[in-house]
Amino acid sequence: MERVLFGDNQFFGINHMSEDKALAQAMKFQNLDAIIEVIDAAYDAGIKVFMCTTHDRIAEVCAHVRANPDRYREFQFYPCMPYAHKYANAVTEKGILEALKAVLPNEGALGALFGGAVSVARRDMDKLTELLVDAEMKMFHGLKTPVIFLQNVVTDLVLGLGMNELFATFARHVKERYQAEPGFITMNTPLLLDALEKVGVDNPIICSNINKIGFRMCGGIEEYERTMATRRFRPIAMSVLASGAIPVEEAIEYIVKQPKIESIVFGASSAENIRRTKNLIDRQSYAPRLS
């Protein structure tokens, strides 16, 4: 994986510390040109990976990248799915069956899956997982997607329900259908790692909050540091700035001292902040990573 990844929270008004900042960002990025300008700034700063949700607006970004292959020759997407709000809104507006008809590849697939009635059998849940991944991946057709993530809303729901075999289904389908690495976003890395090991997902890519003040780190900093030091997985650190609560220099200094972290994902709204953060990461001397 690339060392530095660029995220998309800022484009859709997501800020875990300030609703005012979130609203300002949402207003700033109402049109595609504003989004592309920032993505271009990240790409020109040497960040080749855009780690993004499957928000409808991302389909426009995908179309732009497809239309300009020379400009984005080394550009990669790390899709994160599903975009939960999209499904929640669809269910609210249409009901669950009509919502599924709208998002699944075709009605035939829905009929084959349910046989005229909603089933919660394990085989049907596995098939539904595969179909939903395929529906979400449509917008990335023809683009480089070497890692595909399960969003934390679903990861942690599945974890809480104890339906851990669905993690194996997701991992297998991503590898076989898209020749990609499966990744998992979570708010509880230690617990998720236990579940993944039980279902045979080996050396998983796990993205979670990792920062100096323990912001949204379930179990606390010491547990995360112990897990990274003693267990076999590939961590990606997100929310390293704790939504702005930690000064950038201080935040990056802490993260790069953690020897096992493979990648750092961050979002920014301006070219200046992108370059500054990327340069800070690049300038740090990294300790040898644990195998």
Residue % of the chain over a pLDDT of 70: 79
251 in any annotated domain: yes
- C-alpha–C-alpha distance, residues 93 and 183, integer Å: 31
Classified as helix, coil or strand, 263 is: strand
**pLDDT above 90 (res 180):** yes
With CA atoms as reference, report the closest residue to 183 among 258, 265, 78, 82: 78
- pLDDT at 29 (0 to 100): 84
- pLDDT at 103 (0 to 100): 58
96 in any annotated domain: no
Q: How confident is the model at residue 237 (pLDDT cuts 50, 70, 90)?
A: very high
70 in any annotated domain: yes
Q: Are strands 147-150 and 76-81 parallel, antiparallel or unpaired?
A: parallel
Tell me how crowded residue 14 is: count the other CB atoms within 10 A of its CB: 16
> 7, 238 in Cβ contact below 8 A?
yes
**pLDDT above 60 (res 149):** yes
pTM of the model: 0.85
With CA atoms as reference, report the closest residue to 15 among 5, 25, 30, 6: 25
Tell me how crowded residue 87 is: count the other CB atoms within 10 A of its CB: 18
- C-alpha–C-alpha distance, residues 150 and 53, integer Å: 10
208 in any annotated domain: yes
> Encoding tokens for residue 271?
């070219």
198 in any annotated domain: yes
**pLDDT above 50 (res 177):** yes
Which residues 6+ apart lie within 8 Å of 216 measured at CB?
16, 187, 209, 239, 242
248 in any annotated domain: yes
The CATH number assigned to the domain holding 39 equals 3.20.20.100
- C-alpha–C-alpha distance, residues 221 and 224, integer Å: 5
Burial of 48 (0-12, 13-18, 19+ CB in 10 A): middle
Average pLDDT over residues 57-82: 97
**pLDDT, greater one: 285 or 280:** 280
Average pLDDT over residues 58-82: 97
Note down the domain range covering 272.
4-82+146-171+181-283
130 in any annotated domain: no
Tell me how crowded residue 265 is: count the other CB atoms within 10 A of its CB: 24
Q: How many domains does the chain have?
A: 1
113 in any annotated domain: no
**H helices present in 68-188, as ranges:** 84-94, 96-103, 107-114, 122-137, 152-161, 165-178
| Span 110-141, pLDDT tens digits | 454 444 444 444 567 888 889 889 999 999 99
